[in-house]
Amino acid sequence: MSWQQVSRQFPATRMRRMRRDDFSRRLMRETTFTPDDLIYPVFVLEGSNQREAVASMPGVDRLSIDLLLEEAKLLHSLGVPAMALFPVTPAEAKSEDAREAFNPDGLAQRAVKELKNALPDMGVITDVALDPFTTHGQDGLIDDSGYVMNDETVEVLVKQALSHAAAGADVVAPSDMMDGRIDSVREALESEGHIHTRILAYSAKYASSYYGPFRDAVGSAANLGAGNKYTYQQDPANSDEALHEVALDIEEGADMVMIKPGMPYLDIVRRVKESFAAPTFVYQVSGEYAMHMAAAQNGWLDGDAVMMESLTCIKRAGADGILTYFARRAAELLAEQAG
């Protein structure tokens, strides 16, 4: 029986009755947001005791591994289950072929080892993409015309994913949008005995203008320059294409799928969750964070309130987990509310 069939006209039905008091609002709340829904993305620096503010992301810092461990312990104490690591590669380590991406002693690999040694039960997610390591800022290897080559890039991504798994990463997250990379990474992980390493596939990653602050944070903005990623990331105008991409990645062996960005793409989140019922994650990206923070710092919005509202809305749309730079603050607020 549908809601329309059982509903009665006013005043027999007063929808506001259930909204009158806190207890009844809580009892009928359809979406519950907890620290279990959070993943904290962190930018990792070389060196010791190094902290650099990201100018376009107020409140977000690049951290050396020792300070990363301190941050991780705080997040762990707040109940946040996982962190996602994004290395800031020194200019001298970047190259056309992105070979630093699979260096077993690279920054990301060392950060994984240190984090897992310090907090074995903290989930560690690593980014599998080449843009932090290329001199041109693209997510893959390029030919003479500047076009990002698919199959040649996948070969390097496989090496990168294997190096992360060998370092102890719980989850590798290909964010490159190359065709067939999930199948290749899954096959390689299985053949090397990494049968428990999960794959979080950035299956519906759009060629969005909301990524600018992130590129500043990892140092790829200057390398990319006036370039773009339209030939491999999805057109923001497309929705059906996202379902095709998700279906392919699940078939190829992805354990989880990602939609990126977040709030402007909640229709995609809902379609993906309803179509596949697979573990579905959302990245509330740097541009979304920067807009919220700018409005809050100018007094135009209540920062904490809109933060929690935005995260709850992403969860309501169907997300099982949310990568967000607000993770620490959100977890702190939830702890305060729990008393």
For the annotated catalytic residues, the residue numbers are 205, 260
C-alpha–C-alpha distance, residues 129 and 164, integer Å: 12
Task: Find how far residue 106's CA is from the centre of its chain.
Answer: 21
**Interior angle at CA 308, CA 41 and CA 319, nearest 5:** 60
C-alpha–C-alpha distance, residues 117 and 25, integer Å: 43
What residue has token string 């067939």?
180
Residues 107-144 as b or e (16 or more Cβ within 10 Å = b): bbbbbbbbbbeebeebbbbbbbbbbbbbebbbbbbbee
Neighbours of 58 (CB within 10 A): 16
Q: How far is CA 9 from CA 5, 12, 27, 90, 315, in A?
A: 11, 6, 23, 66, 32
What residue has token string 């496989």?
158
C-alpha–C-alpha distance, residues 273 and 250, integer Å: 13
Side-chain half-sphere CA neighbours of 56 within 13 A: 15
What SS3 state is found at 82? strand
Q: Are 155 and 112 in contact (CB under 8 A)?
A: no
C-alpha–C-alpha distance, residues 164 and 172, integer Å: 7
